[in-house]
Structure 1
Amino acid sequence: MSGHGVFQEQHSSFEGCAIANFIYGPNGSGKSTISNLLRNQDDLDSEPSSIEWDGDSSEIIVYNKEWREENFRDQQNFPGVFTLGSDSVEAQKNIDDLLDKLQRTQEKISSANKQLEDKQKQIDDATESFRDSVWDNVLKPNERLLGPALTGYRNSKSKFASKLLEKPGEEPSVTIDELEAQIADVFSGEPNTYESISIDSFRTLVDNLGNCETCDIWELAIIGNQDVGIAELIGTLGNSDWVRQGMVYVDETDVCPFCQQHTITSDLKTQLESFFDNQYETNLRKAKDELNCYRSTAGALLTIFEALLENPFIVACGDQSRQLLETKVLEIRPAIEENIKLMEGKVAEPSRRVTISSCSKLYEELLQQITVINNAIIEHNEAMLNISKEKERLLKDTWATLRKIGAAAIQSHEEAIKKLEGAKKGLEKTIREQKGYEKNFNEQIVEARKGITSIQPTVDEINRSLLAYGFDGFSIQPSGASENAYQIVRPDGSPAGKTLSEGEETFVAFLYFMQLIKGSVDPNQFAQEKIVVIDDPICSLDSTVLYIVSCMVKQLIDDAKKNQSEVKQVFVLTHNAFFHKEASFSKGKAYDDRNTKYWTIQKRGNQSFIKDHGSTNPIKTSYELLWEEVKSRSASTIALQNSMRRIIENYFRMLGKDKSDKIENRFETIEDKIICRSLFAWMNDGSHSIPDDLYIDSYSESPDKYREVFKRIFEVSENIEHYKMMMGDVYKETVESNAE
């Protein structure tokens, strides 16, 4: 209610409303504000107040001053109320049967809807659990590697999970390492292309190495001229390599470099020179050349090979491609080094025969690996030329990889959702079928009612009530000026016009409203559920009619509680304590069941506050209401004085034994006696004048003094127990406070 009229405080609301709801508040406290808001619900759309429904909304019918003015502004022509007549027992029984079937159908729809809500909640919970699971266990561990291909899905659990469920059966075409490298290339902004590795240069070097390794010089024993006389001796000794090395030291002297004796003759020197002839030197030179070629070619190959490991494409491909090449290096390098050692040995000892290992297989494997890399470069460059298609492939592989990682979670989730969706579809089918039955029953009910609905039963019921309660000066009759409308006429048939008293008009308006609850101004529109709001229906009514109205309200509430009418909830707002008591009491005691709630509206200054009393009736009798005013610390001095006077008048006139002057004389001070006399004023003067107020103006701002004298009146008259009983907890708190 906050933000409307006197209800400016936050949390001004009626919460946990029951079937029967009694709201008591003085005039000006905001009751009309409440009833008008309920009557004009469209005004709530742009206001801070609102209505919260437990289930579907229902029609709200409000009786208040504004409703009376709108409906009885033209007393000659106000809308007729269609109700079901009782002239066709069989037709009525048919309608009752249809209504019973309709109710059972609606109960089935309601039950199925609740089950449907439960299934949907289970689906929502399962979906949320799946989202969290795949987010933590599938996305997060792979986000760094595959992130560029997951744009648009890294900030939404819902979108990621939904995408993951699209095609769970696909298999990725590459490993996750390959996928990572390819994603890094394709999604790295500007598309990168790479130059192919020149395989011809590698093949030239490999061919040269192969030629060196297969040269026949390594298997040839390089020895001197056998036609020289000394050749037989050198051959017998097998020391040609030793002799050749010593030849370096043979000069113009005759000193032997081996024995250091003067044994070198010109003839021996000539024979030695002839032994190491041109053929020997040619073969030795060939061995040296092959060694140098092999060594330089191998060095060039390994240098280029080392550079190849830093090739941008190989680096971009990741560790796997690099490791394959490094493995080839580890195999080729020691084989070449071993061959070089053998060749060097041959050159040092030309007569030795050596076998050089062929590395052709390793070279061929190297060339094949380079070919594979070149093919990958070609594929990459082609992909860069058609990057959109390549991105599409990588996206497909990315999601296939992620689905493979989360396969177990996906399967479990899909099986659970399939089962729940199956149950949900079954319930939706049931609801559709039952709604079809509901529509059919409603159509049958409308057709059945057309034959027996009429405004005449309303006319008869209102007129019967008027005569029963002594209103025989006018009656309700169908209007002659308009079809399906009423007019108020005198016994002679003349229009009553504006001659009705306020009390008569109020009573007939309430009777009309009670009939409106049972029927409708549209013969085809009978609401299944109604909320009835009654705001102060007893204005200008005498006590007898007030009692009649309260009985009608009580019957309306009892029928609603027993579910014997279309009324599902009743709100009664009143400022009249007697009417409140009559409407809220049944068989001598207040309603105190779980289907009844009570509120009071208290006004302080320009603001009103709503107090919830639960199922406890705050107003037992008018007499107890006066005591509530005395107990209230917020009551004004004038209101407090008047309440005290009325209590004294009721109690001491009907129950008290002592006269007022005798009680007054038991007070000691003049001030207390004057206050005491003023409180007995209504009792002594017949409640028509309060002359002693002239003498107590100086004390009118001292409510505590009045409370003190009021209490003393009961003490000196020996009626303090009645005071204690009526003050209840307030009396106990006062005693405890004084004790402290």
Structure 2
Amino acid sequence: MESINEIISTLNKLIATHNEKLANKKRTTENIKSRFWALMRWDYDQSISAYAEAVVELAQEARRAEQEARDIDQAVRESNEKIADLRKQTVNIEESIQNINLALLEIEIDGFSVVKYSDSLYRIARSADNANAFHSLGEGEKTVISSLYFIELCKGQKTAASVPLAKIVVIDDPISSLSHLYVFNIGQLIKKSFINNSLYKQVFVLTHSLYFFYELTHTNKDSRSESQHLYRIVKNSHGSSVIPMKHEEIQNDYQSYWSIVKDPATPPALIANCMRNIIEYSFNFVQKKDFNNVFQTPTLPTDKFKTFYRYMNREPHSLGQNIFDIKEFDHQAFKDGLKLIFEERGYSDHYIAMTK
């Protein structure tokens, strides 16, 4: 009986323990988890300890790197401040003033010059009057001085604190209102200062003048193909387009007038003006015939050519306005009128050749 009672007592204790676990499932589950992770922690203690040490070391290294970055940023700011201070000490506009004045003398302009206005500014002065004379300059003179200033500006920076960067220069027809002598000089300056200068990454030059164009393009075919690209910008009623162009395709002004006249999409005012230029060049300049006498053809005053006759006998500068007095522009009637003039004057072969 004692043995049986002992077995029953032991079983009752086990049952009581089991019932207690069932009665407290959450605590029992947490105890199991705790024992499981304690075992896992023991098994992987070496790896976890190594990871913890690595995290501490990496955090310390990150803090050191952040501090070094802050120190470098501070050093860069201090260096930039020093550079700006040194530039302020070394920037001298006297050289630019001298360059501009020498360039003016080279192109035989001695009526005005550039004088120093402050440490970083200069202005225009007449030889007899030191007051600001920029507004007294003619349009061509303003173009010249603006071009010379632009050349000097591109050599350096706008301010002493500016950071040097790669430069791309865009020059849009800088020879407006200039005589051919100035066109040549400005062309040579641009060629020397920009095109033949490795300081600039790219140079774009736009112009309407073939004379100026020829001044800038390299005469050597190999040099031209290596460093220059030629394009033609075409604009008509359909919009504008940029077309690659070979050097051999370049036309003179007279040929260009014929190209414009042949394009029906060209604005009417431009067609009429180019026709007048063609007639003036062909008969007034080449054939030495008075412009008005060219139109002494009985057929021209007829109804078909009345509009053409009217506008060809107007002043050329008024064509841009007067051409729109009529509701419709008859491109074919104008072409027929132009053809009639060449036929009546005995130059039908020339007309055929130019209109091919």
Superposition TM-score, scaled by structure 1 size: 0.31
- Whether the aligned pair in 1 keeps the contact of 2:210 and 2:253 (CA below 8 Å) is yes
- Per the TM alignment, residue 492 of structure 1 is displaced from its structure 2 partner at its CA by 5.1
Q: Provide the rounded CA distance (Å) in 2 between the counterparts of 1:677 and 1:709.
A: 8
- Matched to 1:515, the amino acid is E
Q: Which residue of 2 aligns with 1:642?
A: 273
- Whether the aligned pair in 2 keeps the contact of 1:581 and 1:621 (CA below 8 Å) is no
- Per the TM alignment, residue 470 of structure 1 is displaced from its structure 2 partner at its CA by 3.3
Q: Provide the rounded CA distance (Å) in 1 between the counterparts of 2:125 and 2:193.
A: 28
**CA displacement 1:392-434 (0-9 Å, x = unmatched):** xxxxxxxxxxxxxxxxxxxxxxxxxxxxxxxxxxxxxxxxxxx
SS of aligned partner of 2:329: coil
Q: Which residue of 2 aligns with 1:621?
A: 252
Q: Which has the higher contact order (CA 8 A, sep 6+)?
A: 1
Q: Which residue of 2 aligns with 1:532?
A: 169
Task: Return closer, same or farther for 1:633/1:556 CA change in 2, 3 Å cut-off.
Answer: farther
Q: Which residue of 2 aligns with 1:633?
A: 264
- Whether the aligned pair in 1 keeps the contact of 2:300 and 2:337 (CA below 8 Å) is no
Task: Return closer, same or farther for 1:662/1:545 CA change in 2, 3 Å cut-off.
Answer: closer
Q: Provide the rounded CA distance (Å) in 2 between the counterparts of 1:688 and 1:509.
A: 27
Q: Which residue of 1 aligns with 2:351?
A: 723
User: Among 222, 233, 258, which residue is 1:600 paired with?
Assistant: 233
Q: Provide the rounded CA distance (Å) in 2 between the counterparts of 1:580 and 1:651.
A: 23
Q: Which residue of 2 aligns with 1:264?
A: none
Q: Which residue of 1 aligns with 2:156?
A: 519
User: Among 458, 463, 476, which residue is 2:96 paired with?
Assistant: 458
Q: Which residue of 2 aligns with 1:681?
A: 313
- Whether the aligned pair in 2 keeps the contact of 1:466 and 1:475 (CA below 8 Å) is yes
**CA displacement 1:39-97 (0-9 Å, x = unmatched):** xxxxxxxxxxxxxxxxxxxxxxxxxxxxxxxxxxxxxxxxxxxxxxxxxxxxxxxxxxx
Q: Provide the rounded CA distance (Å) in 2 between the counterparts of 1:537 and 1:658.
A: 34
Q: Provide the rounded CA distance (Å) in 2 between the counterparts of 1:613 and 1:658.
A: 39
- Per the TM alignment, residue 464 of structure 1 is displaced from its structure 2 partner at its CA by 0.9
Instruction: Describe how 1:471-482 pairs up with structure 2 within 5 A.
Output: 471-480=109-118
Instruction: Describe how 1:81-120 pairs up with structure 2 within 5 A.
Output: none
Task: Return closer, same or farther for 1:603/1:521 CA change in 2, 3 Å cut-off.
Answer: same
**CA displacement 1:441-471 (0-9 Å, x = unmatched):** xx9xx9xx97986432211110111223233
- Whether the aligned pair in 2 keeps the contact of 1:528 and 1:566 (CA below 8 Å) is no
**CA displacement 1:496-516 (0-9 Å, x = unmatched):** 255432523332121011112
**CA displacement 1:21-51 (0-9 Å, x = unmatched):** xxxxxxxxxxxxxxxxxxxxxxxxxxxxxxx
Unaligned runs of 5+ in 2: 1-31, 41-79
SS of aligned partner of 1:488: strand
Q: Provide the rounded CA distance (Å) in 2 between the counterparts of 1:661 and 1:497.
A: 47
RMSD, aligned α-carbons: 4.5
Q: Which residue of 2 aligns with 1:494?
A: 130
Q: Which residue of 1 aligns with 2:303?
A: 671
Instruction: Describe how 1:353-502 pairs up with structure 2 within 5 A.
Output: 454-480=92-118, 483-491=119-127, 494-502=130-138
> What is the aligned residue count?
274
- Whether the aligned pair in 2 keeps the contact of 1:630 and 1:643 (CA below 8 Å) is yes
- Matched to 2:150, the amino acid is F
Q: Provide the rounded CA distance (Å) in 2 between the counterparts of 1:609 and 1:579.
A: 23
Which of these two proteins has the greater Rg computed from alpha carbons?
1
Q: Which residue of 1 aligns with 2:19?
A: none
User: Among 157, 174, 183, which residue is 1:546 paired with?
Assistant: 183
- Whether the aligned pair in 2 keeps the contact of 1:592 and 1:617 (CA below 8 Å) is no
Task: Return closer, same or farther for 1:673/1:453 CA change in 2, 3 Å cut-off.
Answer: closer
- Per the TM alignment, residue 616 of structure 1 is displaced from its structure 2 partner at its CA by 4.7
- Whether the aligned pair in 1 keeps the contact of 2:236 and 2:266 (CA below 8 Å) is no
Task: Return closer, same or farther for 1:522/1:582 CA change in 2, 3 Å cut-off.
Answer: same
Task: Return closer, same or farther for 1:527/1:621 CA change in 2, 3 Å cut-off.
Answer: farther
Q: Which residue of 1 aligns with 2:60?
A: none
Q: Provide the rounded CA distance (Å) in 1 between the counterparts of 2:188 and 2:202.
A: 17
- Per the TM alignment, residue 490 of structure 1 is displaced from its structure 2 partner at its CA by 3.3
Instruction: Describe how 1:4-23 pairs up with structure 2 within 5 A.
Output: none
- Matched to 1:637, the amino acid is P
- Per the TM alignment, residue 613 of structure 1 is displaced from its structure 2 partner at its CA by 2.6
- Whether the aligned pair in 1 keeps the contact of 2:234 and 2:242 (CA below 8 Å) is yes
- Matched to 2:351, the amino acid is Y
SS of aligned partner of 2:136: coil
- Whether the aligned pair in 2 keeps the contact of 1:597 and 1:616 (CA below 8 Å) is yes
SS of aligned partner of 1:508: helix
Q: Which residue of 1 aligns with 2:15?
A: none
Q: Provide the rounded CA distance (Å) in 2 between the counterparts of 1:603 and 1:545.
A: 31
- Whether the aligned pair in 2 keeps the contact of 1:649 and 1:680 (CA below 8 Å) is no
- Per the TM alignment, residue 667 of structure 1 is displaced from its structure 2 partner at its CA by 4.3
Task: Return closer, same or farther for 1:651/1:593 CA change in 2, 3 Å cut-off.
Answer: farther
Q: Provide the rounded CA distance (Å) in 1 between the counterparts of 2:211 and 2:346.
A: 33
Q: Provide the rounded CA distance (Å) in 2 between the counterparts of 1:724 and 1:640.
A: 18
Q: Which residue of 1 aligns with 2:333?
A: 705
Task: Return closer, same or farther for 1:577/1:678 CA change in 2, 3 Å cut-off.
Answer: farther
- Matched to 1:567, the amino acid is Y
Is residue 144 of structure 2 the alignment partner of residue 507 of structure 1?
Answer: yes
- Whether the aligned pair in 2 keeps the contact of 1:664 and 1:673 (CA below 8 Å) is no
- Matched to 1:520, the amino acid is Q
- Whether the aligned pair in 1 keeps the contact of 2:264 and 2:331 (CA below 8 Å) is no
- Whether the aligned pair in 1 keeps the contact of 2:191 and 2:216 (CA below 8 Å) is yes
- Per the TM alignment, residue 670 of structure 1 is displaced from its structure 2 partner at its CA by 2.6
Instruction: Describe how 1:61-80 pairs up with structure 2 within 5 A.
Output: none
Q: Which residue of 2 aligns with 1:566?
A: 199
- Whether the aligned pair in 2 keeps the contact of 1:530 and 1:568 (CA below 8 Å) is yes
- Whether the aligned pair in 1 keeps the contact of 2:111 and 2:127 (CA below 8 Å) is yes
- Matched to 2:103, the amino acid is S
SS of aligned partner of 2:196: helix
Instruction: Describe how 1:29-68 pairs up with structure 2 within 5 A.
Output: none
SS of aligned partner of 1:593: helix
Matched-pair identity in %:
24
Q: Provide the rounded CA distance (Å) in 1 between the counterparts of 2:268 and 2:189.
A: 38
SS of aligned partner of 1:644: helix
Task: Return closer, same or farther for 1:520/1:533 CA change in 2, 3 Å cut-off.
Answer: same
Q: Provide the rounded CA distance (Å) in 2 between the counterparts of 1:673 and 1:632.
A: 19
Q: Which residue of 1 aligns with 2:286?
A: 655
**CA displacement 1:169-189 (0-9 Å, x = unmatched):** xxxxxxxxxxxxxxxxxxxxx
Task: Return closer, same or farther for 1:484/1:498 CA change in 2, 3 Å cut-off.
Answer: closer
**CA displacement 1:669-692 (0-9 Å, x = unmatched):** 93356467447636xx8x6888xx
Q: Provide the rounded CA distance (Å) in 2 between the counterparts of 1:622 and 1:722.
A: 16
Unaligned runs of 5+ in 1: 1-381, 391-442, 732-740
